Amino acid sequence: MLFHPLSLTPLSALAASTGVRPVAVRLIPSRMYSYVGKFSCVFSVVASRLVWTQLTVLPPLYLQRENKTFLARLCEQAERYDEMVTYMKEVANIGGELSVDERNLLSVAYKNVVGTRRASWRIISSIEQKEESKGSEQHVSIIRDYRQKIETELERVCQDVLDVLDESLIPKAETGESKVFYYKMKGDYHRYLAEFASGNKRKVAATAAHEAYKNATDVAQTDLTPTHPIRLGLALNFSVFYYEILNSPDRACHLAKQAFDDAIAELDSLSEESYRDSTLIMQLLRDNLTLWTSSDGNEAEGAAPKEDKPEEETAAAPEDKAEEPKPAAPES
């Protein structure tokens, strides 16, 4: 016989008095009883129907969130990132603010989905330029069509994550850390759109990216320390935006150097748990500054600046500072 976990009343009797089917209780793991008990203690015995309703509604949502997060981790291990995106989007739509673990999973999923396509686009664009220099019009036409196919995929993925950010994640963000994380993410994906867009579309994407990065910076300067990994990652990617999209190396260097110097000044106060992530991003900032201020113009032109990576991705592969390989040099 099954019993109500709080009152030891037989569930068959409780179901008869409340009209609720007892089969729903089978979905409730024992670890949830104390959680539900926090709600049930405010109700009297007369309100047992309300307690019963709470028991049948909350646990399935909790389990659904937990199971989809677990499935996303499985997809990550199997490198099935498109499915990982699907599961984490469903987690985001369940409700409430994402945990640090959940938002990192979402970021890793989208970064890998878009990252493979960005790498493909760069390779195909490079081949297209070589074929153009050879005067091979037939090959150029075929390559151009294929490049446009990749651009369509990139646009779809970027717009998808931007919709999730605008409709769900940013409105639900409560902490300064979350707001900076999501605004930075928004700036990143508008920047990815600007990478391959042209004309007015590029201008619109660049303007949106700058606005998102600026919003993130305003919150970061108020709520996060100069050594915080998310604030440093924001400065890293914002400076890459200035250098690559706005063609403004002076502003890129100023922003990167300012972030690096501010972090160095407070390095002694850096917590042990964030020391590794913070110093890694500081190294990337310094690498970019070296690249951008190099006296060898050809080297600076051919190499690619390094960007920030999602927290889980950097933790999993500390030796790989770049987001994805490029022919001349690694980029984040």
Using CA atoms in the order 46, 51, 56, 62, what is the torsion angle rounded to 10 degrees?
Answer: 180
Please state the pTM of the whole predicted model: 0.74
d(CA 47, CA 54): 11
Task: Look at the chain and report how many structural domains it folds into.
Answer: 1
| pLDDT reported for residue 309 | 66
Please report the pLDDT score of residue 168 as a whole number: 93
Q: Are the C-beta atoms of residues 197 and 206 closer than 8 Å to each other?
A: no
Nearest to 229 by CA among 108, 312, 331, 319: 312
Cβ–Cβ under 8 Å, residues 288 and 305: yes
Residue 162 lies in a domain: no
Note the pLDDT tens digit of each residue in 72-129: 999 999 999 999 999 999 999 887 889 999 999 999 999 999 999 999 999 999 999 9
Whether residue 283 lies inside any domain: the answer is: no
177-215 confidence digits (pLDDT tens): 999 999 999 999 999 999 999 999 999 999 999 999 999
For 21, the domain range is 11-60
Terminal Cα-to-Cα distance of the chain (whole angstroms): 58
Residues of the chain with pLDDT under 50: 1-59, 295-296, 313-332
